[in-house]
Amino acid sequence: MDVITYVLIVALTIGLFFFAIFFREKPTRI
């Protein structure tokens, strides 16, 4: 596996994790 692919997967996972926490803390503020 390429390093770039690994970094993208980790960044995407962390991004989704923080997005889930932020969305749970402030529900439907769009």
What is the pLDDT at residue 28?
Answer: 63
What is the pLDDT at residue 16?
Answer: 94
The domain in which residue 27 lies consists of 1-30
What does the pLDDT look like over 1-30, one tens digit per residue?
799 999 999 999 999 999 888 888 776 665
What is the pLDDT at residue 30?
Answer: 57
For the entire predicted model, the pTM comes to 0.55
Kindly report the three-state secondary structure assignment for every residue of 1-30.
CCHHHHHHHHHHHHHHHHHHHHHHHCCCCC
Residue 27 CB neighbour total at 10 angstroms: 7
What is the pLDDT at residue 25?
Answer: 76
What is the pLDDT at residue 24?
Answer: 82
**Domain count within the chain:** 1
